Every structure is written in structure tokens, then in C-alpha cells.
Amino acid sequence: MNGTQIELDSLPTTDSIKHEPPILYGAGNWINGFRRAEPRPGYLPTDAPERFYDLRAANAKTANTALARELKGRHLQMIAFGGSIGTGLFVASGGSLYRGGPASLLLSYVLIGGMQYCTMQSLGELCVAFPIAGSFSAFSTRFLDPSWGFAMGWNYCLQWLFVLPLEIIAGAFTIGYWDETIDRSVFVSVFLLTIVAINLFGVKTYGEAEFIFSIIKITAIVGFILLAIVINIAGEPEGHYIGGMYWRNPGAFKNGFKGFCSVLVTSAFSFTGTELIGLAAAETANPRKSLPTAIKQVFWRIMIFYLVALLLVGLLVPSDDSRLVGGDNVADATASPFVIAIEKAGTSLLPGIMNAIILIAVISVGNSAVFGSSRTLAALAEQSHAPHIFAYVDRQGRPLMAILFASCIGLLAFLADVKYHDAIFNWLLSISALSTLFTWGSICLCYIRFRAAWSHNAHTIEQLPFKSNVGVAGAWVALIGYILVLLSQIWIAASPVYAPDIVDGASGVAQNFFLKVLAIPIILLFYICHKVWYRTKIVRLEEMDVETGRRYFRVHIMAEQEREERLGWPKWKSKRRPESDDPCMRHWARPVSISNGGVSQEQETHVYEKYFIHFFLQAFVVQYMGDVHMKAMEASYATILWGVALAVVGFLSHRIIAIALRPHSSRFNGLPRPKGQQPFVGHALRILRGGGPNDVYLQWTRQWPDAPFIRCLSWLNEEILLVNSLEACREVLQTNAYFFAKPGFFHTLVGEFLGLGLLFSVGEQHKRLRRIIAGPLSRPSIRKLFPTFVTYSQKLNREIGEALERSKSGIVEIEDLIIRVTLDIIGVSLLGRELRDFRSESSPLSFEQCYNAILAQPLAGQIISFINPFILLRWLPVSANLNFIRAKSALKTMMEGLIEQRTAEVGAAKLMNEDDKLSDDLLTRMIEASAEESQKLSKEELIDITMQVIAAGHETTASALVWTAYSLAKDPASQQRLRAEIHSLGTEMSAKGIDELPFLDNVIREAMRVHSPTLIIPWEAQKDMTIAGTHIPKGTTVQIVPAMIQLNPEIWGSDADVFRPGRWEDMGGNASSPYAMETFSNGPRMCPGKALALLNMKVLLVGLIRDFEMEIVDDGKEVELRNPSLTLKAKSLIQFKMRKVS
């Protein structure tokens, strides 16, 4: 192929550019967000001749889009769901029922649904491999013919462009249900502005809006199904049993085969929008996991809702009802068969509610119309199929010009008050009336061609991250089906059902024909004009590009990771939910399998559930049927509401009783359980009311010193096993280390800030991450940073000296100084810069300010963070949430920029053999170590690991150092002995010299033993196992409390709670076990930053003790501890009295 060549080897293949919208502060930065996004790698200009189409450039541009990747799995599912449930289901189905009858209506949806299933499977395989802008229109350009891609792109774009004003008009007409005199143009303005505003706020806002709209629509359909069943049985005002009466008269089928064919296109129209999931793939954070889940789940949900709802509509509404649309006016929501069905029940309230739901559905589809048309238009511009101005993507990842253009088309909705607006919109919609069939058929054909090209390029099916369940055969079946539907539509257009009623004479028949099939010549015109102008050819098999924009996956590694994830899933989830990217959903989907007498608690819960559901259903039936009998089958809505209320009370009662019975249905009855639990909160309040975070635990371990585990109850009586022996500790942390994972609640509590990283990874993924960072965080590597530690030790001493000069009493609050200096050391060691000066261009806040904003939240933020693992509250628009989200996003932006900079530096140094010029920080070393691995660390993994080292390292190191100083201040003899040992080094501090201070090691170990900065280490069993003679079922939460081991008199003697560094000199017995100290944990899960923390503490403590004498003010008072807390902290700053050592 001639023309400008683009170096595709330089393009990213594992991930398209991930766009993180900047945090905007102030009007200036807000305006700056509308500027064009920076050019992406691989997005190079081409100087191809005017009439030459550069296919490779088009592929490269769509593969490297600047669109924001902010959609999650739940957004994808609801986008596909919300985009397809609108007037097609709620209104247009009335016309189908009128023309074809209930059986034709149901059968047509089954057939179209089957073809749609094949199409969605094909689209899923393509989009997971190629999550590119434009999706199916871009696939047509790549795998079929650029001219066909041009025609399909504009075909799909025009479809949604003209759907937008139609849906807005439908909304305005729906308002007329309540007041026909109201000015429709007012609500046209309101609806249009609402839709435009949602889309201008970015793709995440669009996703959240569709999520809310779809939840409302799902709730409405479920409510309709329940109500329709009641009405069908005996719910009419006359109390008649309806059953299948209307299938017999006027009949199941109307107008024979022609009536059935007339319904097919309407059925296809109703499914329109499911393919939006393909467009959204380019803006999805993790398409590998989100797309397959959404494709599998959304289709079946739509089919179930459609088929059940339409079956009931066909049972309740006769097909000859004069109120049905009959295909004439899809904007008239008053003719909805759903409203008609509810009106048959004789109530005036519910039809109004149903119309409100239709109004929400109309706005939702209009919202999807702007999204679909703008993304398609932007992709067309990227491929040089549309004016280049529409390729404008701003710094927040929005296709701004395309959105504005689509919004301007929405102004056509103001024709709602024009006399002949119906005729105008009928002609506009006719341009894309068959658009859906062409789009879906093209997807199937692209998939068939892709599979052929995939094999031609020596790839195997096993290399694909997601494979269609129906394969090429299913795509052929769907393609042939769409062709047959298209032919049937041409036939129906030429010889319409009820021709005398719809058209007037020969001219009317001709007009109807062109209205129905005008899309065909329009598409052919687009195709032929583009082909004549650019002289393109059908893309040959050997020329097809199956590399640009493709996500590269190590399928065997992913399969292993998924198998490990499934270890923690219940049976129903492992069969029906093969993927899930939401840790909260994984937590809630996992039942507790604690049993009594061989019957699991889950099974007992089901017994209670069946009992209560049976009881209240029986009460409902008795009450309802008794009312029917006494009032001659005249059902009252009060009875229905009474039955629903009984069912709700029954469900709540079942949950309450199940929770209340948990303490009495445990297979751990042989283990000690403390008394004093309270209903529904177990021992949680007792622990929180203790004098410190460890006080209650220490009482229990001294009460049962020989028990391997102590079982306690947490919130909602959730059972937790506390590790209480060295043997149990060893088996949890060493023998069965990889059969435990962090619990779901802990993941949400800590992981929303710290990410996945090493802390939450499992199995091979954990081993891989540990192997990569082992070198950079090893003791020899950390020792290279010794001069940095010395510099900041001197800085700490200077600041203490200055504070001492200002203090007349000699009291210095060194805790704040230690916390700040420790954070500086962590920042310089890990990132090569002080965190107070580290900031991004898009945020006025420094790294330190954002970090503190997250860790030191106000009371409202702390409450939200605590409740969020159980009830998601992060969506609430309160200042605590907004500040948290801004700070978190700003931190991520800073880290991404720094990692990109360091990665580029490492790459340049390797190329020039100048490794000695690289920054000496640990992040650079981790990137270097990662480069030598077959599977490098991703940007997200580096961010997560770095944030975990910063947070865990800073919090625990600072806490441990403060408590070490506190312990020495209360023990002058040990303080003096340590000072004498330090003075033996002379005036110069060296790494080798510090290693030769045995008493320093003993002081630090003893201080961390008595005052462990780590409070709890929670784990959750991923399979059934036996530990220390106790059977641990899968799903059991096992919690290590270091204080229970480190202050256990059975291990450390009767003075276990006394600070005595000398005990380490003649260590013996159980205390010599490595599992007797759990501050840094043990085994494969040992803290990787242990060497960094210890050297940090040693250097700062040596400088502190060498230059200052310390004692505690008011030594007679016990320090009050903060409870709850992430690490061991005092409620108020500890007061130290300092004196300089002469």
C-alpha cells in the first residue's frame, strides 16, 4: 500500500492511552479542561494525497484515542441495558401487538433475541481484543472496506442523531398525560438541557446517570410483572380471571405470516442500544474483565425482562384494542400497552407512575443518543470519514465538538409544536430506519473476517482473551437472519399490513414504501460516493491489521489468576459469574459457611428463609383469596399492599432472626467464646469501648492461654477467629499462606486508597510482584540510602534543638517532628523527592497535602470510610467524599507522571549504557527490576505498590519510633546504656557501625513487641483446611492481633507487658520462635519494607539518643490510646522533656 507509513511498532499494544481527567480548581483551570488533549503516541499526522485513503493511519488513530477511560463494569451493564429499554419496549410494542398479535410479538422477540445473542458474542470478542474508538464502524473500515466503514459509521451516527429529538418530543408528549394544555416547548428545553449537561460532564457522569436510570427502569418492569400476574389471576375491577383469554379471542396471530414479518423490524428496534457496549469499550477502565461480564449478563437480563413483560402484556391487552398505537405514532406514550394493561386494573394512580417511568426511559435513550452519535462521529473524524473538527477531544477526555453537534441536532425537538412534525420526523427517521439491521449484520461480517485473518496470521483461538460462545457459525446464522429480516421489511413496505388504513391510494403506498426502505439507498449512496472518490478496495485477508490497538494478554496467566479467584466464590457464582471487577461485589457474594452439627449456617439460613417466605405467602394467599371469596372475586389494592407488606416484613424478620441465631449455629462451639456480646453487634462495641485497641484482646488471651483460636463476634454477629498460639500463627502465615486472602471489607476499607498491589494480590500474582520488588527493597539495596537517612536525622535533631531553645520548660512535642521527617525520608528514598514539594501541574495541592487529606479525614469522612465496606456511601455528594476523591485522583495523577518520567529515564539510560546517571530512588530500581522480567509491572501495579510502601511504611515506622522513644524515656537505665553504646561509634555515623550495636537492635525489637504499631492482620480462608487441629471452612475470617502473641505470658513470661530490652540477650523457649513477633508478619506475606523501616528507625534513634536525654512529663499517668485506629497511637501528643547531651 502506497502513501505515508506510520511506525506502528511504536504504538502501545497492551493498553491504549489511559486518560485520567485532571483535578480542576478554579475558573482558569476549569476552562483549561476544554482545551485539546495532548497528542497520543502513534497519533501521527499523515500527508497522504487528497484522494488516497490511508487505512493504516485510520487504524492507528482509532487505536490511540484520548477518550477518558472511566467506565466500570456496572456502568457497561447499565449502558447496554438503559440504551435498549425505551420507547421501543414501552410504546412501539403496542404497534407490534396491534399488527401481529401476542404470539407473533413474543416469537419475533425470541428470534431477534437469538440473533442478537450471536451478535453480542461476536462484538464482545472483537472489543475485548480491540477496545478502540468507533468500535463496529472502525471494525468495518479495518476488516471489510473503508468505504463500507464510512457508510456504516454515518448510518449509525444519523440513527442516533435523529433519535435524540424524537425521544425529547416523546418526553414532551408524555408530560401531556397529566396536563394536555401545557407548553411542550418548555419541557423540550428542560429535557434537552438535562441530556446535554449529563454528556458535557464526561463519560463517568454519563455512566452514573445511565446506572440510575436503568435501576429505575428495572424496578418498574419488575413491579409491572408482579402487578400483571395479580391482575391476570383476578385483579380486574370485575374480578374476572383473564388467563389466556385474549390469545383465543381475538387470537394469538393476526394477519398471518405478513403480520409476523411486520413485527420483526419493531422487535429489532426495541433491541437497539445493546451494541452501545462496543462504543463504551474505548472508555472502559478494564475492558478485559468488564466487557465479557456485561455482554453475558446484559443480554440475558434484557431477554428475561422483555419476554416476561411482553408475555404478560399479550395476556392483559387484546390486540384489537383501539388505544394501541398501530405503528403510527411512537411518540405517543399514552398508547403504551403497559399503561393500557395497568388501566385495566381500574386504578388512577399506577398509570401515572408508569408514564413517569416511560418519561425516564425516554430521557435515558436520549442520553444514549448523544453518547452514541458523538462517539461515532468522533471516530469517523479520526478515520478521516468526517470533518476533522469532530475529532476534537479535550483534556477531560470528552469529544467536545461531536457532543455539541449532536446537541444542536436535538434542537429539532422544538418542532414538537409544529403542525406536521410527525411527517418531518418520519422522513428523518426513515434515513436510518433499517440502521440497526445493517449495523448488526456488519458486526457479524467483521467477526467472520477477523477470525479468518486471525488464523491467517498464525494466531490460535486460545490466544484470545474472550471467545464467542457461538463462534463463526453463530455469526453466520445471525447475518443470514438479518438479511431475511431486511427482505421481509422490503416486502411489508411494498404490501403493508392494513394498507387501506395506513395509506391513501397508489401515491400513499409509494410514500409508505420509501419511508420504510429509504435507509437502503442512503447507505448505498454513502458507500458508492466514498468508493468512487477514494477508489478503495475490499480489504484482503493478508492486508488485514490484527495488531494495531490490540490488547496483548498472557491468557494462561489470566486463567490461573481467575482460577485462584474462583476459590473464594460460592458454587452459584462460579457457574454464573465468571468475572467480576468489583471487590465489593466479591465480598457480598461470598456467604459465610459456618455450620452446626453438619448443617452449614448458609443452609440453616435458607431453612429460615423458606419458612418465613412460606408463612407470609400463605398469609397473603389466604387473605387475598378470602377477600376474593367474600367480595365475589373483587380484589382490593389494599389487600395487595397488605400482602406485599407481609412479604417485606417476612424477609426482614428472616434476616434479623438469621443474624440473631448466628452465635448459636457455629461449628466452632469447641473453641472458647468470650461472654458479653450484644445483639447484632457481637463484641464490636466492647472492643471499641476498651481502654485501648488491644485491651479486650489481651484479656481474652490471658483467659484462654492454651487455645489455638478464640472466636469472637463482630458487626451483624459475623464470626471471627483470633489466632492465639504460635502453631496456629505458623500455619496461617507459612504453611497455608497462599490459601488466605484479605477479606472483602478490608479491601474496600483500605484498598480504595492503596489499590491492589502486593497487599491484596494472591497466588502467582503475589509471587511475581514479590520477586520483582525483592531486590530494590532488600537490605543491601536499602543500605545505599544510608546517607539520606543521616541527612534527615541531622535535620530532625536541628528542629528539636530549635524547639528546645524556644521552650522554657524543656517540653518538646517530638511526635509531630518524627512523623514529618519520617514522611520526608520515605518520599526521598522511594520517589527521589520530598513529598511536600511534589505536585502536578493540574493540582495546587502537594503530595503530602493530598496524603494527609486522606489519612486525616474529618469525622464525617471517617464515618463514611468505616461504613463504606458494608454500605457503599462514597457516591454521596458531601464535602468529605469530594475531598477524598479529589485527593485520591490528584495522587494518582502525580504518580502516573513520575512513573512515566522514571520509565523514560531508565529506557534512555539502558540505551546509552548510562545506568550510573539514574536516580537512586527505589521507584527507579523497581522499574529497572521490572524491565528484566518477562511480564513487566504495569503503571497501576507500580502506583499501588508505591502507595502501599508509603502509607504502611510511614504510618508504622513513625508510630514505632515514637513508642520506642516513649519506652526509653520511661526507662532511664536502658536509655543511658544505649547512649553509651552509641558513643562507642565516635562522632561519625556509618551503616557498618550501626549494624554493630546489638543493644540498639534489642531496644527496637522490644519496643515494637510491647507497643506493636500493627493492630490487626485480617485474612479470609479461600478453601476448607485444618489448622492447629481446628477445621477452618472456606470463607472464615481469621484475624491475627500481634499484641495477643507478643504480650502473651505463656510465651514471654509473667512480665510480658514490661519493656525490658535485656530479655533478648538470653532468649529461649517459645519466645525464640520467629512467629512470636508479628509486627512485620512472617512467611511469604512478611512486610517487604521491613529493611527500609528498620534502618530508618535505627538512624533516627541513634541521632536522637546521642544528642538528647528524654523523660516523660507526668510519668505517673498512663497514656490514653486512640481507639479505633489504623496503627497504635495516643489520643493526644505525648509530652517529652528534652535536654541536650553535653
Assess contact for 859 and 880: CB atoms under 8 A: no
The pLDDT value recorded for residue 48 is 47
Q: Which residues contact 84 (CB under 8 A, 6 or more apart)?
A: 270, 271, 272, 273, 274, 302
Q: What are the residues facing 1031 on neighbouring strands? A: 1026
* Sheet with strand 811-812: strands edge to edge: 811-812, 1136-1140, 1108-1112
**Domain annotation covers residue 913:** no
- Residue 456: the pLDDT is 83
The alpha carbons of the chain give a radius of gyration, in whole angstroms, of 34
Compute the distance between CA of residue 914 and CA of residue 896 in angstroms, rounded to an integer: 24
CA 680-683-686 angle, to 5 degrees, is: 120
Cis omega (within 30 of 0) on the bond before 1124? yes
**Strand ranges for 99-151 from DSSP E:** none
pLDDT of residue 740: 92
Q: Is 139 exposed, middle or buried (0-12, 13-18, 19+ CB in 10 A)?
A: buried
User: Would you say residue 178 lies in a domain?
Assistant: yes
Per-residue confidence (pLDDT) for residue 164, from 0 to 100: 85
Run of H or E including 457: none
Helices (H), 389-518: 400-409, 421-430, 435-456, 471-494, 499-502, 505-517
Specify if 860 maps to a domain: no
527 with 573, same domain? no
Strand partners, 1108: 1140
Q: Show the CA angle centred on residue 926, arms to residues 923 and 927, nearest 5°.
A: 90
Tell me: do 218 and 119 sit in the same domain. Answer: yes
In the chain, % helix, strand, coil (3-state, to 5) comes to 65, 5, 30
Residue-level pLDDT at 597: 36
The mean pLDDT values, 10 residues at a time, for the chain of 1142 residues are 35 40 48 64 49 65 70 73 67 79 86 87 85 81 88 87 82 74 79 87 83 81 79 65 79 82 80 79 74 71 76 84 58 67 69 77 83 87 84 82 88 74 66 78 91 83 81 90 89 71 57 79 88 86 79 55 58 44 33 35 39 41 40 43 56 60 73 84 86 90 92 87 93 92 78 77 87 89 91 92 88 89 91 85 82 77 67 64 82 88 87 80 88 78 87 87 94 94 84 89 94 92 92 92 92 92 87 86 88 92 93 79 87 89 82
* 528 shares its domain with 583: no
Shared domain check, 564 and 539:
no
Per-residue pLDDT tens digits for 360-407: 887 888 888 888 888 888 888 888 888 888 888 887 778 888 888 988
Long-range pairs of 327-330 with CB within 8 A, sequence gap ≥ 24 = 327/92, 327/95, 327/98, 327/99, 327/262, 327/266, 327/502, 328/95, 328/502, 329/422, 330/87, 330/91, 330/92, 330/95, 330/166, 330/170
Alpha-carbon dihedral 568, 573, 577, 579, rounded to 10 degrees: 0
Q: What percent of the chain has pLDDT over 70?
A: 76
- Could you tell me if 432 and 373 lie in one domain? yes
> Is 683 a member of any domain?
no
- CB-hemisphere CA count at 13 Å for 558? 13
- Asked if residue 443 and residue 357 are part of one domain, the reply reads yes
Do the Cβ atoms of 68 and 397 come closer than 8 Å? yes
From 511, 543, 575, give the residue that closes a domain: 543
Residues 514 and 579 in one domain: no
- Cis peptide before 250, with omega less than 30 degrees from 0? yes
> Quick one: pLDDT at residue 58?
67
Could you tell me which of 311, 366, 327, 333 has the C-alpha nearest to residue 164?
A: 366
Q: Enter the DSSP assignment of 1031.
A: E
Spell out the long-range contacts of 609-616 with Cβ–Cβ below 8 A and sequence spacing 24 or more: 609/654, 609/658, 611/654, 612/650, 612/651, 612/653, 612/654, 612/657, 613/647, 613/650, 613/651, 613/654, 615/650, 616/646, 616/647, 616/649, 616/650
> Containing H/E element for 1112?
strand 1108-1112
Residue 635 lies in a domain: no
> Is residue 223 domain-resident?
yes
Whether 1100 and 820 have beta carbons less than 8 Å apart is answered as no
- 1127's CB contacts (< 8 A; 6+ apart) are 955, 956, 959, 1013, 1014, 1015
The CATH number for 825's domain is 1.10.630.10
Assess if residue 71 is contained within a domain: yes
Same domain, 539 and 559: no
Binding residues: 1087
Instruction: List residues forming the annotated binding site for heme.
Output: 1087
* 476 and 584, same domain (yes or no): no
Residue 362 lies inside a defined structural domain of this protein:
yes
Mark whether 430 and 568 lie in a shared domain: no
User: For residues 664 and 655, what is the distance between their CA atoms, to the nearest angstrom?
Assistant: 15
Angle of helix 184-200 versus helix 400-409 axis, rounded to 10 = 170
Asked which of 512, 543, 574 is the last residue of a domain, the reply is: 543
Number of domains in the chain: 3
Q: Angle at Cα 405 formed by Cα 403 and Cα 407, nearest 5°?
A: 70
* Same domain flag for 80 and 122: yes
Residue owning grid cell 540498639:
1000
pLDDT at res. 661 = 66
Shared domain for 573 and 522, answered yes or no, is: no
User: Cα separation of 712 and 714, whole Å?
Assistant: 7
Give the CATH number, domain containing residue 255. Answer: 1.20.1740.10
Range of the domain at 564: 555-588
